[in-house]
Structure 1
Amino acid sequence: MPLLPSSDPALPPVEITLRRSARTRRFSLRVSRLDGRVTLSLPQRARESDALAFAREQEGWIRRALRTVPEGRDIRFGSVFPVEGQGLVLRPGPGRTIRLADDSLFVPGEEAQLPQRLGAWLKHRARDRLAAASDLYSGRLGRPYRSLTLRDTRSRWGSCTHDGRLMYSWRLILAPPAVLDYVAAHEVAHLAEMNHSDAFWAEVARLCPGYQAPRRWLKTEGQVLHAYRF
């Protein structure tokens, strides 16, 4: 992976991911707000040296964009962690079952096991909530879905295939419930309208009135959900 050297000796070099594409006509840069990955797209036959020269010219823009990426957040006992939009203090707990009480989440086991145990509990909770929301909206729509899967996706919060397969990011369980509900309504609406036309958005509004607020939340706050390291 090429490194973009810094014009300032106090700053580290930046890793650049090169992506060649037959459909790309000119050099373009993208900095992911989720993990800070810098991707440089270039035409299939372009010279790598020319692409890196372009990146060097854009160093200032790249570093400004990297400063907006949320820092990664480790999961430790004593830290505050969001579950369904509520900040809970992670605490060591007895027994073998994770327990939620008041403003705390009690997780059994050593701290080294905390991310794995918490992640498994969150995925189970996310499946239950997303299945319930999908069933609700699918019933309102009058169209069944075929299957539901969870992934840790980076580029989208959910998807719906032409044959009715729903996919969601399990990290939606960290967001306020209205946000999870909106994403479920959005994907279920695709069972009727496989596009983002006016008819599609009218269907979303019918299934989930007031969806605009949780949609805005995802755009402004959603990247923080990816900052937690499991």
Structure 2
Amino acid sequence: MRFFNPARAEPDHIVLDIDGRDVRVEVRRNARARRYSLRLPAAGGGPVLTIPERGTFRTAQRFAEDHRGWLAERMKTMPAARPFLAGGTVPLRGVPHFIEHRPAGRGTVLVVDEEAGPKLVVAGDGPHLPRRLTDFLKKEARADLAEAVERHVGALALAHPSARRPTGLVIRDTRSRWGSCTAQGKLNFSWRLVLAPAFVLDYVAAHEVAHLVEMNHSARFWNVTNALFPETEHARDWLRRYGSDLHSYG
């Protein structure tokens, strides 16, 4: 058996021909992996090929080729990218908003309710529209999450007086998870939660706040989460069904 020699650098990707187009497949070596695996992250991004610690790059290439048909079918089910462009739409708290560009407008982004439906009016030069809209959505996400976290922390303190308070709130563009809580009590969230219906964001906030007393996913943890947010299963089901769509925006 050939062992991986760290002194020999190996490629960090391979290219597969999928239905006539080149698809880059990221290659990762994982010491904890027991087998080769090929996956297409539900949260978005390109295919990832994992090599176990004692695996070989050549075998990984054959594995990817053997599973090319599976990957082609899987890619067909992924949502298409939806860039932030004038004339497009983006959900805000689960409600589709038309994106309108007003170059001569003042300010950055304005929410306008009209009879035809709500709009996000973006001012300034056209090339800056995607960044300005993204910055606006991140700001809205932070405000919504800060309010939800504070509300759940207050409820947690009543039921668990010894519970810690969060040490910080960070907004990111995470792909693998919607939120997390560090051992130090810092709460991290994906800004894309503001695209989902409000109850979904509320659930993720409650989930991470519950980790301030239970740093695990035991039955006790879920009891705390359900006490903070009784619609937990409804929100989890929504994320399973539609969560990957949120990563297609922008």
Which bracket does the TM-score occupy, shorter chain normalised? over 0.9
Which residue does 2:132 correspond to in 1?
Answer: 117
1:61 to partner: Cα distance: 0.9
TM-score (norm 2): 0.86
Alignment of 1:1-230 (within 5 A): 1-6=13-18, 11-93=20-102, 94-102=105-113, 103-142=118-157, 143=163, 144-229=165-250
TM-score (norm 1): 0.93
Residues 33 and 70 in structure 1, CA contact (< 8 A), matched pair in contact too? no
Give the counterpart letter for 2:67 in structure 1: Q
The answer to whether the 8 Å contact 1:36/1:69 transfers is: no
Distance 1:36 1:147 in 2: 28
**1:120-171 Cα deviation digits (max 9, x unpaired):** 1111111111001000001100131111011000000000112211000011
2:134 alignment partner AA: G
Q: How far off its partner does 1:174 sit?
A: 0.9
Distance 2:218 2:112 in 1: 44
- Measured after TM superposition, the shift of residue 38 of structure 1 is 1.4
CA positional deviation for 1:210? 1.6
1:36 Cα deviation from its structure 2 partner: 4.4
Unaligned runs of 5+ in 2: 1-12, 158-162
Q: What SS does structure 1 have at the residue aligned with 2:21?
A: coil
Q: What is the deviation of 1:96?
A: 1.3
SS in 2 for 1:13: strand
Other structure's SS at 1:163 match: coil
Aligned residues: 226
Question: Quick one: distance in 2 between partners of 1:211 and 1:43?
Answer: 36
One-letter amino acid matched to 1:141:
L
In 2, Cα distance between equivalents of 1:95 and 1:4 = 47
RMSD value, Cα: 1.4
